[in-house]
Amino acid sequence: MKLIVVLFVLLFLAFALLNLSLSRHRVKLSNRAGSFDVGQQGRFRILGYLLLFITVAFATAMWGVSLGLVYWFATATLTSILVVLLWTYKPKFFSFLNRC
């Protein structure tokens, strides 16, 4: 159970970062939640992909390859949809990433 929470949070962060690393999307946050540094985009992308990689490694280490990948894909689907919904209706939620 704890493992799932860890996986969930990490994947959510990964997708949130990747979402913000898309230039078109960043503008939306800048408009609505104050300033946003252009240089962060690259950092966000690298960090996002890194997190994706880490979570795959984490899941396969914890549950074995087959079950680990099932957990990873399942959680990825759930978290990415969550990111889409939050981004559409509550974009300000992501402004906490502004400080990174």
Could you list the residues that contact another protein (CB under 8 A)? 4, 15, 18-19, 22, 24-25, 64, 66-67, 70-71, 73-78, 80-81, 83-85, 87-89
When the beta carbons of 8 and 98 are compared against another protein, the nearer one is 8
**Alpha-carbon dihedral 88, 78, 12, 56, rounded to 10 degrees:** -140
- Nearest distance in Å: CB 88, another protein: 5
Strand, helix or coil for residue 23: helix
Amino acid at 17: L
Residue whose entry in the numeric block shows the structure tokens 């690393």:
21
- Nearest distance in Å: CB 43, another protein: 18
